[in-house]
Structure 1
Amino acid sequence: MEALIDCIHCYLKQAISCMEMVNIPDEEKRKVLYELMDFIKTLDPEASPAYNSSLVLLKTYEIIKSEDPYYYAKKQSNALALELYEDVKKRVFNTDDPLYNALKAAVAGNVIDLGIKRDFDVKSELSHAFEFGFSIDDYLLLKNKIQDGKDIVIAGDNAGEIVFDKILVEVLNQMGKNVYYIVKTKPILNDSTLEDAKEVGMDKIANVVDTGVGILGIPKDKVSSQVKQLILSADIIISKGQANFESIDEFEEIQGNVFYLLKIKCEFLAKKLGFKLGDLVLINGENVRKRKLA
């Protein structure tokens, strides 16, 4: 997915969020933003929003001399989600269709997005997801593919959110599936790393694999050969969040095996693909392609 002109203000908004995480004074923030504005001029407009965002974020980290501005916020997100974990797991498994409800819990966790919105209500989001489900729902197609498949890749997104993904993995394990869970190698925004996976116990129930890089999403020409091959060979890929949505579409040859699971937080993406802001979406890659062509 190519970046839009409207993405530029989000790059700067994320940079401000990073600086607020480490209490940079307002006067210093202005200097950093002015420097970033010049840097943004050098970005490739045909690159994905996730990739360009990553470059701006890494430039911000360099200027403010912080390798992981979200370190403590990620810890707090994991702790908050873990407090809810047992109740949510019980609710999922005490239903007629644990897989469907685990997907709802997983998408509800996508509300934990400290890059753009730092105030969120996970309990409210969970209640909404369980009650109303998906606005766009390719669940039956996914369910059939899971029943026929063996190896499932989950492209993870944020810290905190990873706890609700863990419930989805547990359901898939119970179904006899072999699950790989992808995290980032180095910190970027509040994305999950191997440290987060170990902190919440994901490494005990899934094959945790890191991307080889510390950038948003899973760009085909940037991630490790192991991750690239894993995605190309998996029976099903469940892609969490917007950055993965913006980059996994580069794997054009396997879009029929990809299912995007996310909350629509970008009004411009919503308009482009016929979604509504705030929609909870479970959509197959081929159906995304049809929307792009419509």
Structure 2
Amino acid sequence: MKSLVDCIHCYLKQAVSCMEMINVPDEKKVEVLYSLMDFIKTLEPSASPAYNSSLVLLKTYEFINNSDPYYEAKKSSNKLALELYPKLKEKVSRASDALYEALKASVAGNVIDLGIQRDFNIDKELEHAFDFGFWIDDYPLLREKIERGKNVVVIGDNAGEIVFDKILVEMLNEMKKNVYYIVKSGPVLNDATKEDAEEVSMSKIANVIESGAALLGVPKDFVSEQVKNLISTADVIISKGQANFETVDDFEDVQANVFYLLKIKCEYLAKKLKFKQGSLVLINGEKLKERKEKYLLK
């Protein structure tokens, strides 16, 4: 997915969030932001928002001399989610369709996105997810593909959210599926890394695979050959969150097997693709492709 004009201010907003995480003085923030404005001029407009955001974030890390400003925040998110896990797991297990409820739990965890907003009410998000479900809901097709297939790839998103994904992975395990869970190879924003996977015990229930890059999403030109092969050959790919939404479409040949699972947070993207702002979406890749061709490329 190509960047939009509206993405530019979001790059700077994420940079500010990074600096606030480690209490950078205002004078330094201004200095960094002015430098980033010059840097943003060099970005390729045709690149994905996730890729350009990654470059701005990594440049911010250089300016503030901190390679992981979200480290403590990620720890806190994992701790909070682990506290909620037992009750949530019990609720899902009691459901008549536990896999469907596990998907709702997983997408509710997508609210833990400290790069965009630092305040969130996870209890409210969970209640909304379970009560209202998905605004776009391709679950019947997803379940059919899972039941027919064997290998499922889950492309993870944030720390904290990874705990909610555990419930989904456990449901897939009960269905006797081989699950591969992709995390980042290094810190970028508050995305989950292998350290987070081990901290929340995801590595005990899934084959945890590093993406091969410390970049948002899974940009095809930069991830490892292992990840490319996994995505290209999996029976089902469940893509979590906004950055994966913006990059997994690079794997054009497998969109029939891709299911994007996220909360629509970006108001500009919502307007462009005619999504309902704030809605929870479970959409097949082929249907998303049709939507993009209809609204973005016309």
- Structure-2-length-normalised TM-score: 0.98
1:69-88 aligned at under 5 Å gives the runs 69-88=69-88
Q: Which residue of 2 aligns with 1:195?
A: 195
The Cα of 1:56 is off from its aligned counterpart by 0.1
Aligned residues: 294
Separation in 2, partners of 1:195, 1:184: 10
Unaligned runs of 5+ in 1: none
1:163-242 alignment to 2 at 5 Å?
A: 163-242=163-242
Whole-angstrom CA distance in 2 between matches of 1:273 and 1:149:
30
Q: Structure 1: which 4+ aligned runs deviate by more than 3 Å?
A: none
Q: Which residue of 1 aligns with 2:246?
A: 246
3-state SS of 1:223 partner? coil
2:264 maps to 1:257: no
- Matches of 2:58 and 2:97, distance apart in 1: 42
1:30 alignment partner in structure 2: 30
Query: In the alignment, residue 254 of structure 1 is paired with which amino acid?
Result: V
What secondary structure sits across from 2:209 in the alignment? strand
Aligned to 1:161: 161
Q: Determine helix, strand or coil for the equivalent of 1:179.
A: strand
1:3 & 1:249 partners in 2: Cα distance?
13
Give me the CA root mean square deviation: 0.4
Query: How far does the alpha carbon of each residue in 1:66-94 deviate from its partner, in whole angstroms, 9 at most, with x for none?
Result: 01000000000000000000000000010
Contact 1:217 1:243 in 2 (8 A): yes
How much has 1:271 moved relative to structure 2?
1.3
Opposite residue 207 of structure 2, the aligned amino acid is N
Residue aligning to 1:136: 136
User: Are the counterparts in 2 of residues 273 and 288 from structure 1 also a CA contact under 8 Å?
Assistant: no
DSSP 3-state at the match of 2:250: coil
**Percentage of pairs with the same residue:** 70
Displacement of 1:293 in angstroms is 1.8
Equivalent in the alignment of 1:118: 118
> Equivalences for 1:6-17 in 2 at 5 Å?
6-17=6-17
AA in 1 matched with 2:224 = S
Matches of 2:182 and 2:293, distance apart in 1: 29
1:29 Cα shift?
0.1
Partner amino acid, structure 1, of 2:61 = Y
Deviation at 1:292, TM superposition (A): 1.2
What amino acid is aligned across from residue 101 of structure 2 in structure 1?
N
Q: Secondary structure at the match of 1:163?
A: helix
Cα shift at 1:140: 0.2
Q: Provide the C-alpha distance between the structure 2 equivalents of 1:271 and 1:139, rounded to a whole number of angstroms.
A: 24
Instruction: Return the alpha-carbon distance in structure 2 between the equivalents of residues 236 and 3 of structure 1.
Output: 27
Gaps spanning 5+ residues in structure 2: where?
A: none
